[in-house]
Amino acid sequence: MSPANVELGFEPPAGLDSTPLQVRRLSDLQDYYADKDAVRELVAAGDPEIYAYWAIEYAGGGSGLSYGVTTIQPGVVGHEFYMTKGHYHVAPGDEMYLAVSGHGTVLLRNDAGEVKRYELKPGRMVYIDEGWGHRTVNDGVDPLVFISIWSPGTGHDYERVLREGFPTVDDYAVGESRSLGQ
């Protein structure tokens, strides 16, 4: 990679070697939501976009950084807010999330099944230490846009989230930070 000064938004920056925008619709995420009736109804009614992200993955031989932007739309599936699949990094490597706009919660889970829940909003940073699986939830009313910066080569294990289960945030549990419709 070479020095860069780029605008970070929904779409990948032009002229840099980015992944194409990955759009995750509800039909791609059926296994991740608990309320299967709500999933069926929403998919049949238009299959909403839940989130989209792109990444610039460092592929050099040195100690570079990978980074990207995720945009999670606001909404609920049954009693769960729109959220990412969530994953564990398979090789050692930490990550940092920085919000651009909106309001969210980052859920972390480690090998011992311990769970942490951190607020994500402009002006706050979430640091994801090695060994902690992570999922991001939009519990606001606007799109949640955040920047991720991580150590290259960590890989992403999504199967483990399905195999072991992963915490979610439902709209009845959030009261202290916000509730839908405010």
Distances (CA, A) of 57 to 2, 39, 68, 106, 153: 13, 32, 8, 22, 8
**109: nearest Cα among 129, 93, 91:** 129
**Closer residue to ligand F6R, CB minimum distance, 42 or 84:** 84
Site map 59..88 versus ligand F6R, x via CB under 6 A? ---------x-x-------------xxxx-
Residues β-bridged to residue 145:
71, 101
Exposed/middle/buried for residue 110 (C-beta within 10 Å: 0-12, 13-18, 19+) = middle
Site map 85..114 versus Zn ion, x via CB under 5 A? ----------x-------------------
Q: Min. distance of Cβ 84 from ligand F6R in angstroms?
A: 4
* Dist. CA 104–CA 51, nearest whole Å: 13
Q: Min. distance of Cβ 26 from ligand F6R in angstroms?
A: 13
Q: Min. distance of Cβ 113 from ligand F6R in angstroms?
A: 19
Q: Min. distance of Cβ 114 from ligand F6R in angstroms?
A: 19
**Closer residue to ligand F6R, CB minimum distance, 70 or 138:** 70
152, two tokens: 């290259």
Is residue 166 near ligand F6R by the rule CB under 6 A?
no
Binding positions for ligand F6R, 85-144, rule CB under 6 A: 85-87, 95, 134, 136
SS (H, E, C) 26-72: HHHCHHHCCCHHHHHHHHHCCCCEEEEEEEECCCCCCCCCEEEEEEE
**Closer residue to ligand F6R, CB minimum distance, 109 or 134:** 134
Q: Tell me which residues touch Zn ion (CB under 5 A).
A: 95
